A and B are shown apart, each in its own frame.
Chain A
Amino acid sequence: MKFSFFHLMPYTHLDLETHEWPFPNRYFDPAKASALYRTYVESMIHAESCGFDWVGCNEHHFSPYGMMANPNLIGGALAYPTKRVKIAIVGNLVPLNNPIRVAEEYAMLDCMTGGRLVAGLMRGIPHEYLAYNIPPGESWERQREAVQLILKAWTEPEPFGWEGKHFQYRQVSIWPKPMQKPHPPLVISASNADSAKFAAEMRATMGMVLLADLPSGKECIRAYQETARANGWEPAPENILVGMHTCIAETDEEARRRLVHGLKYFDQVLMGGLAASQRIVLQKTRYFESDESRDRWKSRLDKRKTLTLDEQIERGTVLCGSPETVVEQIKRIHGELGHGVFNFTVKVGTLPDDVIRRGMELFRDRVLPHVRDL
């Protein structure tokens, strides 16, 4: 089993709830953000010495939920202070960006890290489409076309042109090209059957975060594996990434107390504006390919809101407890899903950074030795 240390990089200095979209940036304090960035990046660098295999972050816009308008900048900050760990950018929001720019920046990171990039090619959640004025109804089409264009940009031996529906380039010849051949490993979000199938078609690792429950996760994995086989390849456990909020402390009681506090900020402050924007988009566009997918997304949000921490632990959608408890939770979830990459979202709301640091060391000393060989 491989383990990924994932950071949402939230802005944690707000003391209000808001359900406005966009989240008013009059509350943003650059001095506080400057200190947060330093703390977060140092934490990510420290993850290497704590035995993590990947360290990563993702892209979000217009919200304190995550301060990473461009996660590739964070990738650049991690490139030289780390030596072994994979830099997992999971990932750039492909339908929102210039795909050639994505291909170029990822190729840069792959060269700068000596071939340690894991390249996430994500579709993004609804509010990002409002932020970048991209028609949500075209998200799927843009994602499919852009991912294929990026792969071409990385792998074509000669300059080429692309005359697509959404993207047109008369000639493409990126400098640099990636170090890993044929290209860096891909991660594509796969929290529903539609996206799981697309991940399989692209021979990408499927990424599932914010699971509603283990049975729905199993369903996505089944769709992914079936599509992969239909496309002539057999996914390994390492092609399945499962992510969840994680809090490890000395005792179960402390871990729960800390996580409950962090989740309160996560749900009430960080998720507030996002939920509003999602409502606006979901009500009125074809963002999801089917009503079923849309309903599942809404129900997942609703369930997350109403479940207690104990219920989430019981469902296997959160890792929380002492090192010994977390070992058992990891074994149970792995037994159900059979995945090969476990992605820990460690900075949950206002969970204190020193608690996270201590949790990383507990992971290294008392968790990893018991789950490395799963």
Chain B
Amino acid sequence: MQPQASRVSLPSGELSYFAAGEGRPVVYLHPAGGVRWTKVLDELAKSFKLHVPIMPGFDGTAAHASVKSMKALAALVGEFVAKLVGGPSDVIGCSFGGCLAAWLAAERPELVDHLVLECPAGFRPKGYGGRPTDAEELRELLFLHPEKLPPESKPAEQEAANRKMLPHYGCAADTDEELLARIPSIDKLTLILHGTADRMIPKESVQLLKSRLPHAYLVYIWDAAHAIEVDQPERVLAVLKSFLERSEGFMVNWGTLAINQG
């Protein structure tokens, strides 16, 4: 499904975004590498109305002069949701976008329905590694199955430029203490996804998050590194769609184990 590129005018400046599909609204907040239109997004757009804003400064867009922190960025996303959706939306955030989604849920809870945090940044305990220093290391940390990357993936230079925006927004390399203190107040039904081979965000991060969020479920995606949507799109989709469609009922096996139907 081809996403439509658009722009919306917000008080601090223009915000570019992609939209695709029809159905209940889902806002997707991209990772530090910028928007990557994965098979997961493609499939989600068959059941939901997807809004994918490009954070200012990413993917060749201009930064907004007054937006210089994660909290301010969350406020901007809140304005985007209020204007585009006009009410609460399910929100998915991936890595950097996961940290941002958590900020949004803390700052503008009235705009968030279900929350999905894919290997979220911002909760890495001290002493559990840091950001990669070169492109090769980054690639190894992101993908267990790089062969699954779609051929039209964006150039490494653009991804590298995008990552330079993290310090601009003060996105913590380890733990965002201010956000962590706010986590227990987030009462949204939350799904946390994490790759079993993720060395960018250690499992201790998601375990910490799970222990602090009042209504959260943690699901590990087997045989996936940090970019779970690239490494295991089918597994991510199976859990994600079930959670968005059935809420807590995603825990119930709705299929069949029968082999011989007779």
Contact = CB atoms under 8 A, between A and B. Distances in A.
Contacts of A285: 252, 254
Nearest to A95: B257
Interface residues of B, number: 17
Interface string B221-262: 000000000000000000000000010110111111111111
A129 B255 CA distance: 12
Interface string A113-146: 0000000000000000110011111100110000
A216 B261 CA distance: 35
B69 interface: no
B251 A135 contact: no
Interface string B30-44: 000000000000000
Contacts of B252: 129-130, 135-136, 280-281, 284-285
Interface string B139-168: 000000000000000000000000000000
Contacts of B259: 165-166, 168
A306 interface: no
Given A163-B260, A165-B262, A168-B259, A21 B251 contact: yes
Most A CB atoms within 10 A — which of B251, B259, B262? B251
Contacts of A280: 248-249, 251-252
Given A163-B260, A168-B259, A135 B248 contact: no
B211 interface: yes
A26 interface: yes
Contacts of B211: 26
Contacts of A142: 257
A34 interface: no
Nearest to B247: A280
A138 B256 CA distance: 7
A352 interface: no
Q: DSSP majority for the B interface? A: loop
Interface in A225-280: 277, 280
B253 A284 contact: no
Contact of B251 (A130, A138, A141, A166): A130
Given A26-B211, A280-B248, A284-B246, A134 B253 contact: yes
A163 B260 CA distance: 8
Contacts of A283: 249
Contact of B249 (A138, A168, A284): A284
A255 B251 CA distance: 40
Contacts of B257: 134-135, 138, 142, 166
Contacts of A163: 260
A81 interface: no
Nearest to A167: B259
B256 A164 contact: no
Given A26-B211, A165-B261, A135 B249 contact: no
A199 to B, nearest CB: 24
A146 B215 CA distance: 36
B64 to A, nearest CB: 40
Nearest to B254: A135
A23 to B, nearest CB: 13
A28 to B, nearest CB: 14
B260 A135 contact: no
Nearest to A163: B260
A289 B128 CA distance: 51
Contacts of A133: 253
Contacts of A164: 260
Contacts of B253: 129, 133-136
Nearest to A131: B251
Interface string B204-227: 000000010001000000000000
Nearest to B248: A280
A26 B211 CA distance: 9
A165 B251 contact: no
Contacts of B246: 284
A138 B246 CA distance: 19
A286 B246 CA distance: 15
Contacts of B256: 135, 138
B16 to A, nearest CB: 39
Contact of B260 (A137, A138, A165, A281): A165
A168 B251 contact: no
Interface string B66-104: 000000000000000000000000000000000000000
A130 B217 CA distance: 13
Contacts of A281: 252
Nearest to B262: A165
25 contacts: A21-B251, A129-B252, A130-B251, A133-B253, A134-B253, A135-B253, A135-B254, A136-B252, A137-B254, A138-B256, A138-B257, A141-B258, A142-B257, A165-B258, A165-B260, A165-B261, A166-B258, A166-B259, A168-B260, A277-B251, A280-B249, A280-B252, A284-B246, A284-B249, A285-B252
Given A129-B253, A164-B260, 6 more contacts: A129-B252, A138-B257, A142-B257, A166-B259, A280-B249, A285-B254
Q: List the 9 closest pairs (A to B, CB-CB), nearest first.
A: A135-B253, A284-B249, A130-B251, A133-B253, A165-B258, A165-B262, A280-B248, A165-B260, A166-B258
